[in-house]
Structure 1
Amino acid sequence: MASITYIEHDGTEHVVDVKPGLSVMEGAIRNNVPGIDADCGGACACATCHVYVDEAWREATGKPSAMEESMLDFAEEVEPNSRLSCQIRVSDALDGLVVRLPENQH
């Protein structure tokens, strides 16, 4: 299991254990973390699972694919560390990952 910290826009933290192989989005949904809508269910087709990856974890989570970058055009307040959480696969190497959630997903 990898421990992932999801930080809501208001600063509320949710630390959850996520099974390797799942996405960061699935970890949030399965643990009832508010702020990730995931309208498309993880198909990289809606941008409602937008997160900001903590700077210390940007290299470990990798760069977004061309398709993900295209979908990020639909997210609000995109920053250089923006990712779609459905596209980040959890592994033991991501134990301790911190992501912040935007104020809203639409």
Structure 2
Amino acid sequence: MMRKTVHLGTKLGSFASAADSVAETLEVELTTKRVERLTERIGRERVAQRELVIANWEALPLVEKLAAPPGIKAPAVAGVSCDGGRMQRCDLPADAKSH
């Protein structure tokens, strides 16, 4: 119930709309203020989690930041090209003297 309430509080235009939707879909009466407090609290927790993940990543040495994710084997060879990712194709006649 809490997850659905927070989802509605996040997605809908107002906490009052979320409270109405909770009453209609979950058949539980919650005040607008309760939906607001719950949504804001969970939002703060999510931001704190994100900030912790970012801080941990920023503390890594550069080599570890650029390493392949766990369980993924990096390829032995990689190709880098400056052609914009398009296939370069040029059909020249056999007797052409220049490109």
TM-score w.r.t. length of structure 2: 0.23
Structure ID, larger Rg = 2
Which of 1 and 2 has higher RCO (CA within 8 Å, sep 6+)?
1
Higher strand share: 1
Higher helix share: 2
TM-score w.r.t. length of structure 1: 0.22
